Chains A and B, each alone.
Chain A
Amino acid sequence: MASLEPPAAVTPPSSKPNLLPLPSPTIITPSAAALAAVAPTTSSSSPATLSVATPLPTPSDAELVHIPSYSRWFSLDGISECEIRCLPEFFDSRSPSRNPRAYKYIRDSIIKQFRRNPSSKITFTEVRKTLAADVISIRRVFDFLDAWGLINYSPAALSKPLKWEEKDSKTSQHAADSPAGPSSDSTPPVRETTKWLCGSCKSVCSIACFASDKCDLTLCARCFVRGNYRVGLSSSDFRRVEISDEMKTDWTEKETMQLLEAVMHYGDDWKKVAQHVGGRSEKDCITHFIKLPMGEKLAGSAEFGSGINKLNQMKDDNSSNSSSSGKRLCLSPLADASNPIMAQAAFLSALAGTAVAEAAAQAAVTAVSKVGHGEANAHFRSLHGVQGLQITRALRRQVMSYVFLYSDASITSNGSNKLKSSEEARSGVNTMPEEKVNVEEELRTVAMVQMKHIQEKIIHFEEIDSQIDKEWKQMEQMRDILFYDQLNLLKHERSIRKTGQQAAEGTRAG
């Protein structure tokens, strides 16, 4: 799939006929077509507003409820696991006023209020005035519903990304936003050395242009003023770029290598990295680093899956990732905040539950392997296969979340590869084959040693076997001899008895 949806969307499409989930910003289906699709599923009443299935006078009056596809689990009839997880204070009976019934009452009233007028945003204060409950509970539920897009969500008014998407780094946002806006088919601007092309009107920018880092878009001054940008952006997302200092914003290969070196040495200390690169501010370094293709990152994250130190050492040299991540060999807790992407993945997998995250990660790995991004991918899979038996369940869980991250990262890199110069990607990938060969050799020796060990054991057992056979034969022989002796003894006995009897008879007779 083109866009990476958070794991909550893995659940099967909802069976509720009245909810029309949409993948995050796409065009609204015309109501007639949608109604036609929904009509066969409901029995007699026409598709109506969500709360009650009362027949409405004409289909054109019927209201469609739009919720984002990752909120498909929601239903007005009950409380789902996701809600229990996100708002635990209502369900752990710590406070008498916070119980599931109160939660449902607050939630349903807020949603009904919003749906009465879905085109306008409902504010917390409006809601608060109409609910007989304590304001903090109302606020929590309101924030929860807002974050999941169950209220104040209309595809036409997506003025800001949803709350927990804001925490995302920019790379994930590349993947999550699959823009359907007018300027989407304009490829991000071709940054020739001297010219800037506007993303929407395709004219050369002359004096100043406006660039948005959020989604890598450049607009000339005219387009910016006219407001000719995509739905998800606002004017504050653009920063003004004077053409005169445009020369500085291109990262040469040398600078990139310096950046990678610096990051490897200094890790998260961006001040030193900026110094090392020379001529770039900290912020520039950070933004550029994040935008680098994820080839290096793949190698870095692959090490966590195996538990074997040898491999880790190898990968450490190879990874140009921050050195702090290289140190995390053992089972560090997932939510390690020093790496924002890791923290995000942990947060997402916590939100969605482990089973879902595992399933998503599996799906992501298989999808990515089909795409076939470089040898690193196949490499990782072979690693995973060989070591799979040795990974305990705890490690496996980590692998899945890291693989999830990996697939996330690789997909974004797939997307962003079009933008970046391919040399960077190649330079990172070129070091891969040698490492791969080394690792394979090591694997081979390990396997050989194991096999010898097993062979010796077999020989040993064979010897024991033959020994036992011999002893068995001896035993049998002895048994035969014994039997023979017994027989002789009996015979003798009988003959002696007979002669005795005869002798006795003889003396009596004579």
Chain B
Amino acid sequence: MKPLPSTSSKTPVKFRMPTSENLVPIRLDIEVDGQRFKDAFTWNLSDPDSEISVFAKRTQKDLKLPLAFATQIAQSIQTQLTEFRSYQGQEMLTGEKIVPIKLDLRVNHTLIKDQFLWDFNNFDSDPEEFAKTFCNDLGIEDPEVGPAVAFAIREQLYEIAIQSVATARESRNAKKGRRGEYSSISSRSTGAALDLMKLFSNRYSVVRKRKEWDVYEPMVDILSNEEVNALESMEERKPR
């Protein structure tokens, strides 16, 4: 077990995914000859790059996509991995970091909306476990939902990690030598983090305000085929 860093530590930590396994979320959205391929999965950084082409070919063969996809898939994965690697080795700040994670995804016929708080400092956290329990508790039968949920969580954690790297760089450049300012800066500039003290200071109670109950409650909807089609057409229209 890795010892958790204390919540008030201001020492910068090397960039990594704040989960027990250093897995990178990869999102694919490739369009070739009018055929669109969207996918999202997690990749283990310690795997050699030769696996990328193997995986791309495999996926292309299994889904019977035209050959051009394989190279595009491999390229996309490669760029995302190098981007992730470029962040590695840089520092990110770990202050008080309770971040809200929002789930708003549709997997086949299941629609999920949820919001919860996640401790960013907990480097032993496991989105996969969370997703498994989530699906079990809510009785979701579609086996593809679990990984999608885990992926969504991972993606958001990744975004936050990138942000904290950026702020670490900023604060280092802006204030050289003045160490005491870090905590206020980190909590100010990373708007995503919530200050627990502020939450609790008003009421001296841990119970949420009533109006926030609906927001933090998980909602699972099973859609019918027409609704799925409608949503899909809407989604496709959006980026265009």
Q: Which A residues have a C-beta under 8 Å from some C-beta of B?
A: 95-97, 113, 123-126, 128-137, 139
Contact = CB atoms under 8 A, between A and B. Distances in A.
23 contacts: A97-B20, A97-B21, A97-B23, A123-B63, A124-B59, A124-B62, A128-B41, A129-B41, A129-B144, A130-B143, A130-B144, A130-B146, A132-B128, A132-B132, A132-B147, A134-B41, A134-B42, A134-B43, A134-B44, A135-B43, A136-B43, A137-B44, A139-B55
Given A130-B144, A132-B147, A134-B47, 19 more contacts: A97-B21, A97-B22, A123-B62, A124-B58, A124-B62, A125-B62, A129-B144, A130-B146, A130-B147, A131-B147, A132-B131, A133-B42, A134-B43, A135-B41, A135-B42, A135-B55, A136-B43, A137-B44, A139-B58
10 closest A-B pairs by beta carbon, nearest first, are A97-B21, A130-B143, A123-B62, A134-B44, A125-B62, A132-B128, A132-B147, A136-B47, A132-B150, A134-B42
A125 B131 CA distance: 20
Interface in B24-79: 41-44, 46-47, 51, 54-55, 58-59, 62-63
Contacts of A113: 143
Contacts of B47: 134, 136
A97 B22 CA distance: 8
Nearest to A113: B143
A128 B62 CA distance: 11
Nearest to A133: B128
Contacts of B55: 135-136, 139
State the main secondary structure of chain A at its contact with B.
Answer: helix
Contacts of A128: 41
A28 to B, nearest CB: 27
B200 to A, nearest CB: 33
A251 to B, nearest CB: 39
Contacts, number: 61
Contacts of A132: 42, 127-128, 131-132, 146-147, 150
Interface of B: 20-23, 41-44, 46-47, 51, 54-55, 58-59, 62-63, 127-128, 131-132, 143-144, 146-147, 150
A96 B44 CA distance: 11
A129 B46 CA distance: 21
Most buried by B among A113, A129, A131, A134: A134
A16 to B, nearest CB: 26
Contacts of B23: 97, 134
Given A124-B58, A126-B62, A134-B21, A97 B44 contact: yes
A2 to B, nearest CB: 36
Nearest to A109: B143
A136 B44 CA distance: 7
Contact of A136 (B20, B51, B63, B128): B51
Nearest to B41: A135
B69 to A, nearest CB: 12
B132 A95 contact: no
B147 A129 contact: yes
A417 B211 CA distance: 86
A354 B22 CA distance: 37
A195 B51 CA distance: 51
Q: Which of A128, A130, A132, A134 has the most CB of B within 10 A?
A: A132
A96 B144 CA distance: 24
B102 to A, nearest CB: 19
Contacts of A125: 58-59, 62-63
Contacts of B147: 129-132
A137 B41 CA distance: 12
Nearest to B147: A132
A19 B59 CA distance: 31
Contacts of B128: 132-133
A247 B72 CA distance: 50
A126 B143 CA distance: 10
A129 B41 CA distance: 8
A95 B46 contact: yes
A122 to B, nearest CB: 10
Contacts of A134: 21, 23, 41-44, 47
Contacts of A131: 147
Nearest to B47: A136
B3 to A, nearest CB: 15
B86 to A, nearest CB: 20
A131 B131 CA distance: 11
Contacts of B46: 95
Contacts of A139: 51, 54-55, 58
A450 to B, nearest CB: 58
Contacts of B144: 129-130
Nearest to B77: A135
A482 B118 CA distance: 108
A133 B128 CA distance: 7
Contacts of B131: 132
A128 B40 CA distance: 10
A151 to B, nearest CB: 14
